[in-house]
């Protein structure tokens, strides 16, 4: 039988979540993904901007971003209470500007859990766990709804590489499909910034992930609606 590249998780189990969090400590490759996202956010989001993360997990990306962006405000969503508790402990030093919300991203209207206008949405290694293209499109659709003019989405996630020799779980699909979905739901620009830990011959479930960047179109305010300075 052909092995399928993928993994099953028990993120609602406190022991599993704690053990997984220890095993998933960021490697240099994973930190390079965080740094790429940080560079994108620095260029695009105001210093006190609002950043939302989908699938907080143990909070490694959140800690990386909040340590580097001293005025940014953060809201992390996850459906796992144990993971949210681990992340909240890790981010205790940023408690005045970090909020955690238990939400299932598969629920209708998941974005209603967001607290106000959002400048950027980030996610790492989470959306592939939702099931497949349809579920990722549901989440991309919500992102397009909440991000305003030139709002930024950065998704770093496992993919099925072009030329794959193995079967991959349905949540890991090609880069071109991600880009099609992003454009279809209303992002103006959608691109793959970089692929990390590319491996075709004998991939582990922790290899082959890409960073997607998508931006909402600018909202043009008609001349007649512009307020003249007093």
Between 131 and 186, name the residue whose CB sits nearer to ligand SAM.
Answer: 131
Site pattern 10..39 for ligand SAM (x: CB under 6 A): -x----------------------------
**Binding of ligand SAM at residue 41 (CB under 6 A)?**
no
Q: Is 79 in the site for ligand SAM (CB under 6 A)?
A: yes
Shortest spacing between CB 138 and ligand SAM, in angstroms? 10
> Residue 122's beta-bridge partner residues?
53, 154
- Compute how many other C-beta atoms are within 10 angstroms of the C-beta atom of residue 40: 18
**Binding flags for ligand SAM, 165-204, as an x/- string (CB under 6 A):** ----------------------------------------
Determine contact, residues 155/172, Cβ cutoff 8 Å: no
Q: Is 55 in the site for ligand SAM (CB under 6 A)?
A: yes
User: Strand runs (DSSP E) across the chain, as ranges?
Assistant: 4-5, 50-54, 73-78, 98-102, 118-124, 147-158, 167-168, 189-196, 209-215
CA pair distance 228, 230, nearest whole angstrom: 6
Q: Considering the rule CB under 6 A, would residue 83 count as an interface residue with ligand SAM?
A: yes
Q: How far apart are the two ends of the chain, measured CA to CA in Å?
A: 73
- Contact flag: residue 209 with ligand SAM (CB under 6 A): no
Among 95, 106, 176, 221, binds ligand SAM (CB under 6 A): 106
User: What six digits make up the tokens of 68?
Assistant: 């580097």
Q: How far is the CB of 128 from ligand SAM (least distance, A)?
A: 9
Tell me the C-alpha distance between 21 and 18, whole Å. 5
Nearest to 15 by CA among 64, 85, 76: 85
User: Rule CB under 6 A: is residue 151 a binding residue for ligand SAM?
Assistant: no
Question: Binding ligand SAM by CB under 6 A: which of 66, 118, 126, 152?
Answer: 126
Footprint of ligand SAM on this chain (CB under 6 A)?
Answer: 11, 55, 57-61, 78-80, 83, 104-106, 124-126, 129-130
């Amino acid at each position: 039988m052909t092995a399928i590249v993928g993994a099953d998780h028990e993120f609602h189990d406190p022991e599993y979540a704690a053990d997984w969090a220890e095993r998933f400590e960021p490697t240099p490759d994973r930190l390079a993904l965080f740094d790429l996202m940080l560079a994108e956010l620095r260029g695009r989001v105001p210093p006190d901007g609002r950043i939302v993360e989908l699938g907080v997990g143990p909070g490694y990306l959140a800690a990386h971003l909040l340590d580097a962006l001293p005025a940014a405000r953060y809201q992390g969503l996850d459906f796992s209470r144990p993971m949210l508790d681990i992340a909240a402990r890790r981010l205790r030093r940023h408690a005045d500007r970090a909020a955690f919300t238990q939400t299932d991203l598969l629920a209708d209207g998941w974005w209603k859990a967001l607290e106000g206008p959002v400048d950027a949405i980030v996610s790492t290694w989470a959306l592939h766990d939702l099931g497949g293209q349809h579920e990722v499109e549901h989440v991309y659709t919500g992102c397009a709804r909440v991000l305003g003019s030139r709002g930024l989405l950065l998704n770093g996630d496992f993919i099925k590489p072009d030329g794959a020799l193995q079967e991959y779980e349905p949540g890991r699909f090609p880069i071109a499909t991600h880009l099609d979905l992003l454009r279809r739901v209303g992002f103006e620009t959608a691109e793959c910034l970089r692929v990390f830990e590319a491996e075709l011959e004998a991939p582990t479930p922790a290899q082959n992930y890409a960073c997607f960047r998508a931006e909402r179109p600018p909202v043009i305010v008609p001349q007649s609606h512009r307020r003249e300075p007093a």
